[in-house]
Amino acid sequence: IDHCLPILKTSTTERHRVRLLSLIRHLFTQQEELMAPFSSLFLVPVLGRVGDGSEAVRSLASPLFAHLL
Of the candidates 33, 34, 6, the one whose C-alpha atom is nearest the C-alpha of residue 20 is 6
Contacts of 59 by beta carbon, 8 Å cutoff, 6+ apart: none
Q: Give the HSE-up count for residue 59: Cα atoms under 13 Å, Cβ half-sphere.
A: 4
Ordered per-residue pLDDT tens for the chain, 69 residues = 788 888 888 878 899 899 999 999 998 888 888 888 888 888 988 998 999 889 999 999 999 999 888
pLDDT at 56: 93
Q: Decide: helix, strand or coil at residue 11.
A: coil
pLDDT at 32: 81
**0.75 surpassed by pTM:** yes
